[in-house]
Amino acid sequence: MSEYAHPEVLVDTDWVKKNLGKPGIRLVEIDVDTKGYDAGHIPGAVGFNWETELQDQVNRDIISKENFEQLLSGAGISPDDTVVLYGDNNNWFAAYGFWLFKMYGHQDVRLMDGGRIKWLNEDDKELTIDKPAPTPSTYKVTSTDMDLRAHIPLVMEASKSSSFNLVDVRSPDEYTGKIIAPPGMNETAQRGGHIPSAKSIPWSLAVKEDATFKSADALAKLYFEQKGVDKNKDSIAYCRIGERSSHTWFVMKYLLGMPNVKNYDGSWTEYGNLVGAPIEKQA
Amino acid sequence: MDHRARVYNDVFEMLPSVENPSPLVRINRLCPSPEFTLYAKLEWMNPFGSVKDRAAWAMLCDLESRGELSDGRGLVEPTSGNTGISLAAMASARGHALRAVVPSGIPQEKKVLLKILGAELDVVSDELCPSPGMGDGSINLAKTHAKAQPKRFVMPNQYENELNVRAHLETTGPELWRQTEGQITHLFLSLGTCGTVTGAGRFLREKRPDIKIIAVQPSEGHDVPGLRNVQQLDSCELFDRSLIDEIIEIDYELAYARVLDLCREEGLLAGPSCGLIYEGARRVIENERRGFGVMIFPDSVFKYVSSLVKHIPELAVDGPA
């Protein structure tokens, strides 16, 4: 059985338990449902709110470098810390956080495989409502990697060109245009369907029932053999607001080791609202 | 207590039992075959308004007897409404706190009722009948509360608690057998936690091995709180497939249409899950023509007024408030 291309970016729940409270190891919970952290979290973990802390509050954009530095300083995180991210919904927003940390050049960031659900359902793992009071640090971003992000001009080019893998990770009903967004979601679009030439590979196909990632062999079979992803091409993943696609971006880049993978965080809530953009929709 | 005079020392004495069964009422105008005797068991006549009084009482008594609710410890429970309402009323009257974790899609009436009864409420994005397992949602948020604050909360967990089955094995099943004088040939019900079917079904199957137990489930994407569609049943810990003869899937919009029929033709103030079950029973009776069936009607229409207006827009009332 082969290993993940970058096994160092994934830790399991037992590793986290063993390393709780160790200097230089920092836990951050990022949930879709921001009530989760307050109800109970891993001892010592800080909670980041994806809506108010990871997004610019005026423009539709990721937080600025300065706001990222401020957020991490407030959480007492230093550039040389090992940061372990975890969250609900199979680590959707934890993966989004991972993508953000990597764009702002944080060296050692990892995901806890299985997320908060796996931890919650293991009898030997504790939860607490006590929030840590970290001593603030002075976090400085020294390098950035904005190549991890796709903007609309590149997405348009990828849609027309055969030299990209364009991967739609939403549910089949969102891909076909039967629905525009999952029920109850606030962020939506004017039109349903998908970007022309995008392959449908729902994010959920990459995980097992216990919420952990499938093996490297199973993922390679799924993406390369069953879904026809070309492992040597550049790739762009998208969903509705960029969090589920972060999950697939993580799989393609770090678990499968594909060379150039970008997350299109504008995703369907940008593309499906664009005037004149071509859309494929199942009749 | 004297069930004949119906004078009680407290509300708990009114809870259903073989001596004090919930009523069976015969369906007359809406029964499609004169050779088929069809009854509805009106679970909304239980003191807290639904079939869930049975499981809630069994789970609460168990926790009390094991000392799990001492020192001010309260309960936390995921619920699509009815169990929470029963538990909230019972817990409040016995001096315990309840935190109910509910899916956002349940009717507003149920959410407000929970608050009227003194429950603290968490509303989460989830299926209308929460599924056990690794997904997020009501069950895992309730588990989080119980795990993070074990001194403050204990979780009865109706979705996995065997007492949910035992309550029906000891009350619903024997009541049905006695009330029908052993004539019952068909049992019609819907599946949510599966406590009713597994408990009552086990009892009746033992008494009468050839009884037909028929589950009526809503189609996918449904809006009938507390019920699962067929694809979701396997995630249910208390589900025993071997007890069930047939599962009928019904377009969930029909549940609402049949509510009007039951209200207007039979004078039964039945909720949407009753409408669904009736539609399933009607189809079976059309086909089989003869038999003696009972439908378990879980709750009444009062908690679903807003749902009825949503699905049958002509029910909306215009004019000054």
CB contact under 8 A, A40 and B125: no
**Do A184 and A226 sit in the same domain of this protein?**
yes
Which of A89, A120, A146 lies at the terminal end of a domain, its last residue? A146
Please tell me which of the candidates B105, B122, B143 has its beta carbon nearest to residue A120.
Answer: B143
Domain count, chain A: 2
Contacts of B125 in chain A (CB under 8 A): 33, 184
A281 occurs within a structural domain: no
Spell out the residues 6+ positions from residue B212 whose beta carbon is closer than 8 angstroms to its own. B185, B186, B187, B245, B246, B284, B291
**Do A183 and A122 sit in the same domain of this protein?**
no
Q: What pLDDT, on a 0 to 100 scale, did the predictor assign at position B271?
A: 97
Q: What pLDDT, on a 0 to 100 scale, did the predictor assign at position A126?
A: 97
CB contact under 8 A, B148 and A121: no
CB contact A126 to B (< 8 Å): yes
**Do A138 and A184 sit in the same domain of this protein?**
no
Q: Look at residue A167 and tell me whether its pLDDT is greater than 70.
A: yes
Q: What pLDDT, on a 0 to 100 scale, did the predictor assign at position A282?
A: 82
Spell out the residues 6+ positions from residue B317 whose beta carbon is closer than 8 angstroms to its own. none
**Do A18 and A140 sit in the same domain of this protein?**
yes
Q: Look at residue A32 and tell me whether its pLDDT is greater than 90.
A: no
**Do A137 and A158 sit in the same domain of this protein?**
no
- DSSP-assigned letters across all residues of chain A: -PPPSSGGGEE-HHHHHHTTT-TTEEEEEEESSTHHHHH-B-TT-EEEETTTTSB-SSSSSBPPHHHHHHHHHHTT--TTSEEEEE-SGGGHHHHHHHHHHHHTT-SSEEEETTHHHHHHT-TT---B-PPP-PPP---------GGGB--HHHHHHHHH-SSEEEEE-S-HHHHHTS-SS-TT-S---S--SB-TT-EE--GGGGB-TTSSBPPHHHHHIIIIIIS---TTSEEEEE-SSSSHHHHHHHIIIIIS--S-EEEESSHHHHHTT-TT---B---
What is the residue-averaged pLDDT of chain A? 95
Q: What pLDDT, on a 0 to 100 scale, did the predictor assign at position B133?
A: 54
- Which residue is it, tokens 């006549």? B45
| Identity of the residue numbered B232 | Q
Q: What pLDDT, on a 0 to 100 scale, did the predictor assign at position B104?
A: 86
Spell out the residues 6+ positions from residue B265 whose beta carbon is closer than 8 angstroms to its own. B29, B30
A282 occurs within a structural domain: no
What is the rounded distance in angstroms from the CA atom of residue B177 to the CA atom of residue B184? 7
Q: Which stretches of chain B are DSSP H helices?
A: 52-65, 82-93, 108-116, 138-148, 162-167, 173-179, 195-207, 252-266, 272-288, 305-311
CB contact A123 to B (< 8 Å): no
**In chain A, pLDDT over 70 holds for what percent of residues?**
99
Q: What pLDDT, on a 0 to 100 scale, did the predictor assign at position B130?
A: 58
Average pLDDT over residues A97-107: 98
- Residue B273 annotated among the catalytic residues of the structure: yes
The encoded tokens of residue A14 equal 């037992």
A217 occurs within a structural domain: yes
**Do A51 and A29 sit in the same domain of this protein?**
yes
**Do A79 and A116 sit in the same domain of this protein?**
yes
Q: Give pLDDT tens digits for A46-68.
A: 999 999 999 999 999 999 999 99
A278 occurs within a structural domain: no
Which of A146, A175, A202 lies at the terminal end of a domain, its last residue? A146
What is the rounded distance in angstroms from the CA atom of residue B49 to the CA atom of residue B40? 15
Q: Are strands B291-297 and B246-250 parallel, antiparallel or unpaired?
A: unpaired
Distance of alpha carbon B306 from the chain centroid: 19
Contacts of B135 in chain A (CB under 8 A): 117
B214: three-class secondary structure by DSSP:
strand
Q: What is the crossing angle of helices B252-266 and B272-288, to 10°? A: 90
Please tell me which of the candidates B134, B141, B148 has its beta carbon nearest to residue A210.
Answer: B134
CB contact B237 to A (< 8 Å): no
CB contact B185 to A (< 8 Å): no
- Residue B52 annotated among the catalytic residues of the structure: yes
Task: Give me the half-sphere count of Cα atoms (radius 13 Å) on the Cβ side of residue B136.
Answer: 19
Q: What pLDDT, on a 0 to 100 scale, did the predictor assign at position B134?
A: 52
Q: Give pLDDT tens digits for A183-241.
A: 767 788 999 999 999 999 999 999 998 899 999 999 999 999 999 999 999 999 999 99
Is residue A81 within 8 A of residue A114, CB to CB? The reply is no
B22: three-class secondary structure by DSSP:
coil
**Do A35 and A138 sit in the same domain of this protein?**
yes
Distance of alpha carbon A213 from the chain centroid: 13
Count other C-beta atoms under 10 Å from residue A18's C-beta: 10
CB contact B104 to A (< 8 Å): yes
CATH number at residue A184: 3.40.250.10
A1 occurs within a structural domain: no
What is the rounded distance in angstroms from the CA atom of residue A179 to the CA atom of residue A181? 6
**Do A176 and A224 sit in the same domain of this protein?**
yes
Catalytic sites of A, residue numbers = 239
The encoded tokens of residue B205 equal 């199957």
CB contact B316 to A (< 8 Å): no
Is residue A28 within 8 A of residue A16, CB to CB? The reply is no
**Do A169 and A115 sit in the same domain of this protein?**
no
Contacts of B127 in chain A (CB under 8 A): none
Spell out the residues 6+ positions from residue A10 whose beta carbon is closer than 8 angstroms to its own. A4, A110, A111, A113, A213, A254, A255
CB contact A33 to B (< 8 Å): yes
CB contact under 8 A, A32 and B147: no
Query: Which domains, ranges and CATH numbers included, belong to chain B?
Result: 11-45+162-311 (3.40.50.1100), 52-154 (3.40.50.1100)
Which of A146, A178, A205 lies at the terminal end of a domain, its last residue? A146
- Laid out side by side, the sheet with B24-26 consists of B24-26, B36-42, B291-297, B186-189, B212-218, B246-250
**Do A185 and A260 sit in the same domain of this protein?**
yes
Contacts of A39 in chain B (CB under 8 A): 122, 141, 144-145, 148
To 5 degrees, how large is the angle CA A60–CA A161–CA A164?
70
A283 occurs within a structural domain: no
Spell out the residues 6+ positions from residue B195 whose beta carbon is closer than 8 angstroms to its own. B55, B158, B164, B165, B167, B168, B238
pLDDT per residue rounded down to tens, chain B (321 residues): 789 999 999 999 999 999 999 999 999 999 999 999 999 999 999 999 999 999 999 999 999 999 999 999 999 999 988 999 999 999 999 999 999 999 888 899 999 999 999 999 999 876 655 555 556 688 899 999 999 999 999 999 999 999 999 999 999 999 999 999 999 999 999 998 999 999 999 999 999 999 999 999 988 777 777 777 777 777 788 999 999 999 999 998 999 999 999 999 999 999 999 999 999 999 999 999 999 999 999 999 999 999 999 999 999 998 787
Q: What pLDDT, on a 0 to 100 scale, did the predictor assign at position B249?
A: 93
What is the rounded distance in angstroms from the CA atom of residue B133 to the CA atom of residue A71? 34
Contacts of A128 in chain B (CB under 8 A): 148
Contacts of B222 in chain A (CB under 8 A): none
Chain B, 127 to 156: residues with Cβ < 8 Å from chain A are: 133-136, 140-141, 143-145, 147-149
Instruction: Give the residue among A196, A205, A202 at the shortest CA–CA distance from A278.
Output: A196
CB contact under 8 A, A117 and B125: no
Distance from CA of A126 to the nearest CA of B (A): 7
Q: What pLDDT, on a 0 to 100 scale, did the predictor assign at position B131?
A: 55
CB contact A40 to B (< 8 Å): yes
What is the rounded distance in angstroms from the CA atom of residue A19 to the CA atom of residue A24? 10
A37 occurs within a structural domain: yes
- Which residue is it, tokens 């970008």? A262
**Do A180 and A104 sit in the same domain of this protein?**
no
Instruction: Give the residue among A52, A83, A89 at the shortest CA–CA distance from A67.
Output: A52
Instruction: Give the residue among A240, A235, A264 at the shortest CA–CA distance from A192.
Output: A240
CB contact under 8 A, B135 and A117: yes
Distance of alpha carbon B56 from the chain centroid: 11
A117 occurs within a structural domain: yes
Is residue B172 within 8 A of residue B200, CB to CB? The reply is yes
Residue-range definition of the domain harbouring residue A158: 149-271
Is residue B58 within 8 A of residue B15, CB to CB? The reply is no
Q: What pLDDT, on a 0 to 100 scale, did the predictor assign at position B132?
A: 53
Average pLDDT over residues A248-256: 98
